[in-house]
């Protein structure tokens, strides 16, 4: 049966070009908060080829407001690519509420804020169903994620320890600090209190400049912005910053913000990171930015220490954007960590529930 599933998956994937958007459908998807997403769809794209042992799968969830299309810049061949698609089979997944997978903006049966609140764990649960039900995959070589994708990578490691060999969270966190809560709460309030938001029932997409400014301020360190943008250049930069956050649906953003605000891998363990870490069986490589003003690195470093996992702490002034402006400090570390442990058959004895 397993061989038949692999042959079917291989034949299906061979017909689809790398990067083609596809959907996995779940008629009723239960959420950990007790609600249900009806007619749930999970968007995804694949890159590379699944090997016969199904041992080369890398799952890459999307970041906050990001899509699977945004991720494809990291896949390919050559030293600048984070994941070598001649070697690994990559599944890039659209997180719930990102406007591609089921979201307030695209749900016919649960539009706008009738769409239920989701959590990071819900995103991970939907991805688990994707890989096990749509592909028949029983183990991942790795889960890699950036920012909110990194939060999902931490959640994967705790929630499904027997389904993955390694996890690489990049500028993510297993548990938000008060600094993170302050930032994301400010973004939620900026949306909710805007005159055009109308409790989510807006006639047209509200243009919330304060939201864009908050986000832009936290994206890099103050020193980075001060040295990269002069006073004379500021008007042009401001225009660019405001445009960058335009277009993403406000209700989708609210639901993803709420997911991050509730994120805590230790919640089922009385808030104890040590108890949560005791569940982890995967090898972790934790990559953080020491000057990150968007996702505080403290709990990621603490979690890594509990696991005696290696930490790559980059101190560049670009802060949260280290995966872009310090890619030479990120990409080689990721590729080496994947290469250290070659893809192989499942080795965990724990039975998934």
3-state helix, strand, coil in the chain (%, to 5): 45, 15, 40
Q: What is the mean pLDDT of residues 311-328?
A: 94
Picking from 56-65, 109-118, 235-244, 287-296, which range would have the lowest pLDDT averaged per residue? 235-244
Q: Domain spanning 2-175+264-340: which superfamily?
A: Alpha/Beta hydrolase fold, catalytic domain (3.40.50.1820)
Predicted confidence (pLDDT) per residue in 167-202, tens digit: 999 999 999 999 999 999 999 999 999 999 999 999
Burial of 324 (0-12, 13-18, 19+ CB in 10 A): exposed
pLDDT band at residue 18 using 50, 70 and 90 as cut-offs: confident
Q: Which stretches of 114-186 are assigned E, i.e. beta strand?
A: 142-146, 166-170
Sequence ranges of the domains in the chain? 2-175+264-340, 180-257
Predicted confidence (pLDDT) per residue in 132-169, tens digit: 999 999 999 999 999 999 999 999 999 999 999 999 99
Identify the pLDDT of residue 341.
67
In sequence order, what are the residues at sequence separation of 6 or more whose Cβ sits closer than 8 angstroms to the Cβ of residue 95? 61, 62, 66, 101, 123, 148, 149, 152, 256
């Amino acid at each position: 049966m397993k061989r038949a599933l692999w042959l079917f998956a291989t034949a299906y994937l061979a017909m689809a070009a790398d990067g083609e958007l596809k959907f996995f459908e779940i008629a009723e998807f239960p959420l950990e908060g007790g609600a249900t997403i009806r007619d749930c769809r999970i968007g995804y794209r694949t890159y590379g080829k699944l090997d016969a042992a199904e041992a080369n799968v890398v799952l890459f969830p999307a970041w906050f407001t990001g899509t699977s299309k945004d991720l494809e810049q990291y896949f390919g061949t050559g030293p600048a690519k984070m994941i070598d698609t001649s070697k690994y089979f990559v599944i890039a997944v659209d997180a719930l509420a990102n406007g591609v997978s089921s979201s307030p903006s695209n749900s016919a049966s649960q539009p706008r804020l009738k769409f239920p609140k989701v959590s990071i764990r819900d995103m991970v649960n939907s991805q688990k169903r994707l890989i096990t039900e749509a592909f028949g995959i029983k183990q991942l070589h790795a889960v890699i994620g950036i920012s909110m994708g990194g939060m999902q990578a931490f959640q994967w490691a705790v929630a499904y320890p027997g389904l993955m060999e390694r996890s690489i969270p990049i500028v993510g966190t297993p548990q938000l600090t008060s600094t993170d809560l302050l930032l994301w709460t400010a973004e939620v309030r900026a949306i909710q209190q805007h005159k055009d938001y109308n409790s989510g029932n807006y006639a047209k997409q509200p243009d919330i400049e304060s939201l864009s400014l908050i986000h832009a301020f936290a994206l890099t360190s103050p020193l980075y912005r001060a040295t990269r943008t002069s006073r004379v250049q500021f008007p042009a930069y401001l225009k660019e910053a405001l445009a960058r956050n335009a277009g993403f649906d406000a209700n989708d953003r609210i639901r993803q913000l709420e997911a991050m605000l509730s994120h805590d891998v230790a919640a089922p363990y009385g808030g104890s990171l040590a108890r949560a870490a005791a569940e982890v069986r995967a090898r972790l490589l934790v990559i953080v930015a020491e000057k990150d003003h968007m996702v505080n690195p403290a709990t990621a470093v603490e979690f890594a220490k509990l696991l005696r996992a290696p930490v790559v702490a980059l101190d560049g002034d670009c802060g949260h954007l280290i995966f872009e402006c310090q890619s030479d400090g990120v990409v080689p570390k990721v590729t080496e960590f994947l290469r250290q442990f070659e893809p192989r058959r499942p080795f965990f004895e724990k039975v998934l529930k």
